[in-house]
Chain A
Amino acid sequence: MPERVDDTDLLFKALADPNRRKLLDLLHASDGRTLGELCGHLDMTRQAVTQHLGVLETANLVATRRQGREKLHFLNPVPLQEIYERWIAKFEKPRLKALHELKRRLEGNGDHD
C-alpha cells in the first residue's frame, strides 16, 4: 500500500506521546466519551487534553460525533490496522516461519529425518 508520508508521520507522532496513548486506552476501555469524562481520568488541564485530542483527531485515530450539545470522542482503529499491515505483518511472517523451522528441527520431526 503506498503511503502518504505526511499521514504516516502524523500517525507515529500522535502515538509518540504517553498521554495520547493513555487517551486511546481510555477510549478503548469505554468508547464515545466527552472531553469532561476523559479529563476526569487524566492529571492534565482541560486545555492540554483538548490539544492531545486534536492531535489524535488530525492523525485520524480519534473520530468525533455530535450528540445534542455534546461532542463524543471515538477510537478509530483503522489507521492502526494500516500500521499493522505495513509495519508488523510483513516482518512477522519470516520470523514465524524461521521459528517454525527451528521447532521442527529441534523436535526431530522434519522431513529430513
Chain B
Amino acid sequence: MTKSTFVYVSYIRTTPEKLWSALTDAEFIKQYWFGVTGDSQWTPGSPWRLVFPDGRVADSGEILEADPPRRLVIKWRNEFMPEMHAEGYGLCVFEIEPAGEAVKLSITHSNDHENSKFIAAVSGGWPRIISNLKSLLETGAVVLK
C-alpha cells in the first residue's frame, strides 16, 4: 500500500524514550497537536483513535506494531471527511533512531490510492505538528497554538 506516500523527518534534541512517550501520552499529545489527542493502549492489536477537543473522532484504526522506543505502526483511517474516509485505511509508521545528540524521528504516511486526498491533507498538517512537538521537547513550549 504505497501509491501515495509522504515521509517527514525531524531531528529532535531529546531521548528515544522521551520521544516515545510524547507520541503515546494523551495529555502530552494534546499540547502539540492543536488540542487533538490520541486514545489507545499503544500495544499491538489495540484500537486507536484521534479525538477532537469536542469529543468527535477525527481518525481511527488500530496499532499494528509497537516496539518502544523504536517503532510504532498505526493502521489509520479518516473519520470526519467523507471523501477521505472513503479511501479506507492507510499506514502511518513512526521510526525513532538515535542520531548523535539528537533523535531522528521519521514519519511515513501512506495509502494505496493514486493522488490520495487524505495523504495530501496530512502532508499539510504533519509539518506543523512535528515542528510543535520538536519545540515542546526542546524548549518546553509550542510555537503554534
0/1 per residue, B108-145, Cβ < 8 Å to A?
A: 10000000000000010011101100110011000110
Question: Provided the pairs A63-B106, A65-B108, A85-B144 are in contact, do residues A31 and B127 lie with their beta carbons within 8 angstroms?
Answer: no
Question: Provided the pairs A1-B135, A80-B127 are in contact, do residues A85 and B143 lie with their beta carbons within 8 angstroms?
Answer: yes
Residue of A nearest to B104 (CB): A60
Question: Provided the pairs A1-B143, A78-B131, A80-B127 are in contact, do residues A60 and B6 lie with their beta carbons within 8 angstroms?
Answer: no
Within the complex, the shortest CB–CB distance from B103 to chain A, in Å, comes to 13
Contact A2 B8 (CB under 8 A): no
**When chains A and B are docked, how far (Å) is the Cα of A20 from the Cα of B144?**
29
Contact A81 B108 (CB under 8 A): no
Question: Provided the pairs A1-B139, A81-B127, A85-B131 are in contact, do residues A74 and B6 lie with their beta carbons within 8 angstroms?
Answer: yes
Tell me if B9 counts as interface (CB < 8 A to partner A): yes
Within the complex, the shortest CB–CB distance from B111 to chain A, in Å, comes to 13
Interface of B is mostly: mixed
Contact A76 B144 (CB under 8 A): no
Q: Interface size on A (CB < 8 Å)? A: 17
Residue of A nearest to B141 (CB): A1
Tell me if B11 counts as interface (CB < 8 A to partner A): yes
Within the complex, the shortest CB–CB distance from A6 to chain B, in Å, comes to 11
Show 6 A/B contacts (Cβ-Cβ < 8 Å), sorted by A: A63-B9, A74-B7, A76-B7, A78-B10, A82-B134, A85-B131
B→A interface (CB under 8 Å): 2, 5-11, 106, 108, 123, 126-128, 130-131, 134-135, 138-139, 143-144
